[in-house]
Structures are given as C-alpha cells and as structure tokens.
Structure 1
Amino acid sequence: MFNLSGRKKKNLPAPKNLTQAIVQESSRHIRLKKWTDGVKTFAIALVAIVSVGITLSDTASESIGPHIAIVPLNGAIETGSKETDGWKVSRVIAEAMEDDNVKAVVIEANSPGGSPADAEHIYKTILSYRTGEEVSKPIYMTVRSVCASACYYIAAAVDEVYAANSSLIGSIGVRMDGWDFQEVMGKVGVKRRVFHAGEHKALLDPFKDVSSEERAFVQDKLLTKLHQQFITAVKNGRGGRLVDDPNLFSGLIWTGEEALQLGLIDGIKTPTEMESYIEQRHGVEKYIYHGRQKFKLSNLFSMDSEDFMDMLASSIYHEFKSDVKNMSEMASFK
C-alpha cells in the first residue's frame, strides 16, 4: 500500500480508547492534507508559470497576426533606460521591421531629449530601413506632450511625424551644464585637491577656473560639432519639408501648430486620430506594443528570483496594455 504522506509509516500503539483513536486518525489526516496541499500549490504554480510563459512567449506573438507595432519612447533618452536606451530601442525597431506580421511601426514619443549617442543609434537604425530596399514598411511617430532635442533627432528619421497642436517640438541644439563652486568653497574655508596627468584632464572641474583655451575647446570641438551633426541629421531626414528659417536650429521650441508650419512635423493629429489615419491607410485595426521583455521557459532556471519577478511583471504589464484601443486614450540634447 502506498504511503501518500511521503514519510515512513510509524508503528503507533493501538489506541486504548475512543479518544486516542480519534486523535491518531486526526493527526494522520492533518499530515496527509499538508502533503496534498503542498502538491496542489506546486502544481497550480507550475501550471500558472507554463500558461503565462506560453501566452507571452515568442510562439504566442507569432499568432497575433497582422498588426501595427507600437514602440514606446517615454522619458529621457539615455543608456541603461528600460524604454529609451539606444541599443534596446533599435533592436525593438529592427525586430518589428523584420516581422512579416507588422504592417507599420509607430513610435509613441514623449521625451524632453537626452543622450546624443543613443539618439544617433536609433536615428541610423530607422534611416537604414527607410532608405533600404529589402524591407519596405512605413515608420511613423506620434508625439504626446513633448518631443524635443534628442527625441526630435530620432523623429527626423521617420517617414511621418504627427503631434497635437499643444505638443512641444524642436529644441535643435546642444547644451552642457556645470557649476562654479569656487566662491562657496572660499567662504567655508575649504580647498580642493585634485591630481591629474594630462594638462586638461580636469577640464570642467567645478572647483577650478575654466581657461579661455578650455572654453574655446568645449565650444568649438564639442558643442558646435555636436550641433552640426544634429543639424545635418535633421536636414537629411526631413529633406525639402523643412522651411528655410534662421531660427530653426537655434534651440528654440515650438508648439505643434508652429512646428507644422516650419516643416518639423507632417500633420496635427492626436494619438486617437493617428490610429484612425493608420487604419484607413493600412487596413489593420490591431495595435501591439513591442519591446516587452519576452518570457522564455528556457531562461527560467538561469535567473534569480528578483530578475524573474521583474521580467514576469513587465511582461504581464505590457500584455495588458498591448491593445491601444483598450487604453484610456485609444553633453545632451535637451
């Protein structure tokens, strides 16, 4: 006879009375219940993990069918960010462009700017598909509140940019911030010591003067060159749509209405109006957020519990908001 409790059966003395018999039988049932409850809990957890894994896996994504890929670009554009890291966003765009089920890509932007290098990475990825011959599908951008500086660097690469009248667009310029703490240090009677090899290794140290030579270097070799790269990228991306205006690359920022007049965007549309526009153009009504961290059972035993929970929570979150129609509203470049 099988011992379901998983333990060696104890040779208990025969009960001397009814009370002992009831106690012994109750104890046996309690041990058995604990064991079966543990098995049930493990089985339910395993089924849940496998079910979620299958739902969120690459195989499941292939069954979505024809759809529009939404790529979020929210927050400051910087290396290491979950949503705006240049390498990560570029990879998501590339995967969407190579997916036969994706009929168009929409970058959903709401960013004040950020890293020139990350912006350049995304810009070149988009432009490579836009000008390439192997993969041909449009890349749009819809702007929420703001798309400035590094965000607009990216916007210049897409086929069409749309924003609301009240959106803020532009800020095509470069800035580098710093502080001068010398007077404060003098007032509190503190002196800073810094040792360096290389005449200009302590460039822009906030506790020392900036020489005229160093100031000229930062302006001419860094800021001006980065600004020129930015201008060239915008001109190459937007082409003849840009208006010849001396303030266009001055770092000023405009409303969507003004940006349209300057050729910085292609039309005034809210995200909902953008959705209708894309549906009419491509005949596709399904919108799926791309870029979520995909659940793979093969990785289950190679990650710690914190990574697993972060990945699973992120996957579930993006799965729930995957359909735009179910949502409430259907140096740095700064």
Structure 2
Amino acid sequence: MIQESARHLKVKKWTDGVKAGAIAIMMMVSVGYTLSDTASEKIGPHIAVISLTGPIETGNRETDGWKVSQVITDAIEDDNVKAILIEANSPGGSPSDAEMIYKTIMKYRFSEENTKPIYTTVRTSCASACYYIAAATDEIYAMDSSLVGSIGVRMDGWGFQDVIKKVGVERRVFHAGTHKALMDPFKPVSKEERAFIQDSILTKLHTQFINAVKKGRGDRLVDKPEIFSGLIWTGEEAVELGLIDGVKTPMEIEAYLEKQLGVDKYIYHGRQKFKLTNLFSMDASTLVDMISESIYHEFKSDVKSNSLTPTY
C-alpha cells in the first residue's frame, strides 16, 4: 500500500510538471506572438501611440533618444500605421536625446515618400527638451491646465570652497589641461571659465533650441522674444503664442483624429520584440522584465482600444 501511494505521488508530480511546462510554453508563445511583427497585421489600420513620459534621457525606456527614434521609424514603415500620436508628459532633459528624436521626426515630416502625419498631445507638461521634440511634429495639442514651453538651457552646480576652508580640509586635484577641473565644486569659477560656460555651451545650445523650434513651428509662432526666455505657459496661453495648435483633451484629440483620418484604433508602440530563438541566450531577469513589460503594454493597449481613454 505504501509503495503504491509513493508510485502514485511520483506519477502525480510528473504529470503536474508536464502541465506546468506546457502552460509556461503556451504563455511564452502567446507573449512571443503578441510582440511579433504579425501583431500589427492582426490589429489592422490604426494610429500608433508613442509614449514620451518622464525625463528625456539616455537609458529611459520611454524617452531614450535612440529607442524612441527607432520606434518612430518602425511606425513610419508599418503599412498599418496611418498616423503617429506622441503622448508627451515630460519636464525636459537631455539636449542630445531630444535632438536625435527631433531630427528623426523632421526627416519623415518633410519627406515626399511619407504621408503619415505626426501629432503631439500634452498631458501635465511638455517643457524644455520635451517641447524641443514636440516642435518637430505636424500639430501639437494640450489641455488648458497643461504647461508648455521652457525654451532655455541651464547647467547646475555647487560651490563648496568656503565650506572646506572653515572645516579645515584641503582639496587636492591633479589634472593636465588648464580647465580640466572646470566643474569642480570645491574650487571657485573664474571670469574666464564663467564666460566660456555661458558663451560656448549655454548660449550655443539655446540658439540651437530656438532655431529648431522656429523651423518646426514656422510662421505659427508669434514674434515675441519672451517665447525663448525659459518661461512656461498654460495651454490657452501657448495657443496665443503659437507654441501649440489648440486646446484639446486626449479624448477630444481622438475624436479629432478619427474625423481627420477615419481611424479609431489606438495602439501603443515601442514594445520589445520577442523571438523564441533568443530564449536560451537571455538570463532570468531579462526574461521576467520582458514578459512583465509585454503584459503591461498589452493591458494598456486593450484598455485604450476599448474605451478610447488614456490609461496614464
């Protein structure tokens, strides 16, 4: 009787293991199909929504310049994508990442081969580097309570030289190159160094920013110097200055685009591609992150498609 029970237990464990393995394989195949190139074909004609959330910076999943540029490129080349809608909610960030995305959009916007319009809808804010990117799109819309603008450049630092004198600490820095320790917070900034930072870095970057906005917005901009002073405005004020094209909530944007384009499906793009051939070469952490991200995006896409209401 004991041997029979033990044998039955072994069989049960084996069958449970087979079931668990089968379920795991089915889940991975399901996730793989969801993230494969056939997903867009299954969805059919739709508007690609690209999230631009958080600080614009290298390494950020939704704002990294190279990653976002690639997502935009893929959406442009996807025959089922009829337009691109960038959901912007960012306080700004890296000039280089913003420049990369801006130039990617501008390249397609003025291409004779591309007929897909690119729109921006602003949630809470689209400031500084975020607006740099938005200025490249065909049209920008925000809510009355949204904050838009902050066209300027800043560089922050600290000066602790007086503190270490009081404490009695000696700062030792060894360097080759007269200004190699330029940003050292424990040494004073000379007039020459301050002028270099202002003229060769901040002013040049600001000029690049201004030129990019003027090129992107064209004659829609009002001729007022304060637009480029670093100030930020609410949606209604931004319309008056020509920084945006109108005040619309996300749902009003969807109704507007449906009328303009005749498409009512909105699908978030930017999901990580999955291939079963990569399964054996990735570590457990990468696999878990990828599956979690895919589930998150699928849930977000389903809610978006069904309710036509943004989920964040």
TM-score normalized by the length of structure 2: 0.96
Q: Distance in 2 between matches of 1:48 and 1:124?
A: 39
Residue 160 of structure 2: aligned partner: 181
**Which moves more between the two structures, 95-104 or 23-32?**
23-32
The answer to whether structure 1 residue 205 and structure 2 residue 208 are counterparts is no
Residue 70 of structure 2: aligned partner: 91
Q: Distance in 2 between matches of 1:176 and 1:162?
A: 29
The answer to whether structure 1 residue 239 and structure 2 residue 218 are counterparts is yes
Q: What's the % identity of the aligned pairs? A: 72
Q: CA deviation at 1:327?
A: 5.9
Q: Which secondary structure state, in structure 1, belongs to the residue aligned with residue 86 of structure 2?
A: strand
Is residue 141–residue 155 contact of structure 1 (8 Å, CA) maintained in 2? Answer: yes
| Match 1:319 to one of 255, 277, 298 | 298
Residue 128 of structure 2: aligned partner: 149
Q: Which secondary structure state, in structure 2, belongs to the residue aligned with residue 192 of structure 1?
A: coil
Residue 44 of structure 1: aligned partner: 23
CA distances 1:104-133 after superposition (whole Å, capped 9, x unpaired): 000000000000000000000000000011
Is residue 295–residue 315 contact of structure 1 (8 Å, CA) maintained in 2? Answer: no
Write the mapping of 1:1-334 to structure 2, written as runs, cut at 5 A. 22-323=1-302, 324-326=304-306, 329-330=309-310
Q: Distance in 2 between matches of 1:251 and 1:177?
A: 15
Counterpart of 1:37 in structure 2: which amino acid? D
Q: Which secondary structure state, in structure 2, belongs to the residue aligned with residue 124 of structure 1?
A: helix
Q: Distance in 2 between matches of 1:183 and 1:142?
A: 47
Q: Which secondary structure state, in structure 2, belongs to the residue aligned with residue 162 of structure 1?
A: strand
Q: Distance in 2 between matches of 1:150 and 1:59?
A: 34
TM-score normalized by the length of structure 1: 0.90
Counterpart of 1:23 in structure 2: which amino acid? I
CA distances 1:261-287 after superposition (whole Å, capped 9, x unpaired): 000000000101001000111111110
Q: Distance in 2 between matches of 1:264 and 1:293?
A: 33
Is residue 72–residue 83 contact of structure 1 (8 Å, CA) maintained in 2? Answer: yes
Is residue 67–residue 286 contact of structure 1 (8 Å, CA) maintained in 2? Answer: yes
Q: CA deviation at 1:56?
A: 2.7
Q: CA deviation at 1:328?
A: 8.6
Q: Distance in 2 between matches of 1:120 and 1:57?
A: 29
Is residue 40–residue 80 contact of structure 2 (8 Å, CA) maintained in 1? Answer: no
Is residue 294–residue 315 contact of structure 1 (8 Å, CA) maintained in 2? Answer: no
Is residue 267–residue 305 contact of structure 2 (8 Å, CA) maintained in 1? Answer: no
Higher helix proportion, which one? 2
**Which moves more between the two structures, 311-320 or 56-65?**
56-65
Q: Distance in 1 between matches of 2:27 and 2:76?
A: 32
**Which moves more between the two structures, 48-57 or 90-99?**
48-57
Q: Distance in 2 between matches of 1:231 and 1:308?
A: 43
Structure 2: which 5+ runs fail to align? Answer: none
